[in-house]
Amino acid sequence: MMDVLHWDGTLSAKDFRIGAIAFAQKWKTLDFAFPSWSWVPCPKHPWLASPEEEGYLSLEKICISGPIEEGIVHNSQTDPGEEETSCSRNEDVIDDATLVQSDQHELHYYDFHVVYSYTFKVPVLYFRAFCSDGRPLPLDQIEKDLPSCSSKELSKSKWAFITQEEHPYLRRPWFKLHPCGTGEWMKLLFLSDTAQPKFEVVLERYLLSWFSVVGQVIGLKIPFKMLNGC
């Protein structure tokens, strides 16, 4: 078994899948009032020989009024025509979320996916956003929704910058927080732990630790109960 000192901070596709499914199950078990993350299984990439099931973590239709740090309003789950969460869904339909108008602020709807990168061998956060009339939200408007500290972080950090590219499974343009340097700071994060956890413990805590950092950039926080026992 590898030790943390000789680890490069990356994660195998198998360990990502196991950790992501466990993350989603723990979230549901704790029964938060917040919307639930879920594991979405997907067809395997034809150029990969891995026998493991592929997929990603999904948190969708998060309704936000004003900056994300001011709070998530709700998850739109009341629309009878809500699109199905699967890799085969029709991505051309983008305006079927429940549209709620506000007298004070226009509501924005966000979808977040955590996808494994076979290039960097780390999780990557993909996201997209819509106005209340179904129009895609441009990056300059998304940046206004982010926590005030994020603009500074995005400008000074060597890893935290946003790009737009095709979603690996949905084949549509999504924004993503670029994973450059993720393995490096993940290793430093665990090396800074004075308890020096065993490598199997590192794998168990990986996604929670990764999200505790990435979530600060976009304003999504992990409830404290998720961190208990870690």
Annotated catalytic residues are 180
End-to-end CA distance of the chain: 20
Look up tokens 């969460």; give the residue.
85
CA distance linking residue 228 with residue 79, whole number of Å: 34
24: its two tokens: 């989603």
57, 65, 162, 189 from 154: Cα distances, Å: 23, 22, 8, 19
CA distance linking residue 35 with residue 72, whole number of Å: 9
Cβ within 8 Å of residue 148, ≥6 positions away:
67, 69
State the DSSP string of 142-205: HHHHS-HHHHHHHHH-SS--EEEEE-TTT-SEEEEE--TTHHHHHHHHHHT-TT---HHHHHHH
For residue 177, which of 146, 202, 133 has the smallest C-alpha distance? 146
Look up tokens 């998060």; give the residue.
62
CA distance linking residue 31 with residue 25, whole number of Å: 10
